[in-house]
Amino acid sequence: MIETVSTARAHGGTQGVYRHRSAATGTDMTFSVFVPDHAPGARLPVVWYLSGLTCTHANVTEKGEYRRACAELGLIFVAPDTSPRGEGVPDDPAGAYDFGLGAGFYVDATQPPFDRHYRLWSYVTDELPALVAEAFPIDTTRQSITGHSMGGHGALTVGLRFPERFRAVSAFAPIVAPSQVPWGQKALGGYLGEDCAAWRRHDAVALIEDGARVKALLVDQGDADSFLAEQLRPELLADACEKAGIPLTLRMQPGYDHSYYFISTFLADHLAWHAERLR
């Protein structure tokens, strides 16, 4: 059952925030959905947006500047949360920002105490899509996915593992190879354990190396991003795509950082790219 937290009119559509009790995480989960005005009975394509470290659904909802483009293109826009929350949900023991609350990394944790609630893979690939498809006028044959940073990692891995479901996959400053960078090594080790073979299913570069394919990828990356060299490493994705024959459009944007100033600048471009493939 979905509880409506709030709704507001914007750009000829309805922006809503909703809450429900998740079976996957065992907690209440909040998400946002923008639905453009449409003809009665019409079913619209949907773009899923996965957010980054420390974020909730609210970051892109309030700062993403996507509604005008979605209204013009006839796209539903769905933004889930990034981790379970609430009483009894474990966090990073040291209170760090890059693990625990706000940092679910879109995996199903296997290591206690995180295995009970941190089941974001099942949540974003199974439970929430079914719930949203039942409650909103979505054409489930026309879906695409994008995301930022940790959410870019999520979008790439989800898109690569469900190529039949998602017609388009893009990302903003994604963590392309979490097995090879500190953020990912901490998260995958903490959630999945020390068997690095289990990490490969949640690593875009490894998935491509292991045979996963999509028709094309679009990635925007700011060249003034302070996380570029150590955590993001888009050159690893470029190399993997070149070897696999996956068409990758990697746009290095001069002067842009990791923030929503960057994302909001190029999000409409991504939505147009998605809409072309969702027609």
- The DSSP element (H or E) to which 44 belongs, if any, is strand 44-50
Active centre residues (catalytic): 149, 225, 258
Quote helix, strand, coil % in the chain, to nearest 5: 35, 25, 40
Report the C-alpha gap between 137 and 172 in whole angstroms.
Answer: 27
- The DSSP element (H or E) to which 60 belongs, if any, is helix 57-63
Report the C-alpha gap between 209 and 4 in whole angstroms.
Answer: 42
What type of residue sits at position 194? E
Whether the CB-CB separation of 79 and 31 falls below 8 Å is answered with yes
Report the C-alpha gap between 237 and 235 in whole angstroms.
Answer: 5
Instruction: Match 């709704």 to its residue by tokens.
Output: 7
Q: Where are the beta strands (DSSP E) in 130-173?
A: 138-147, 166-172
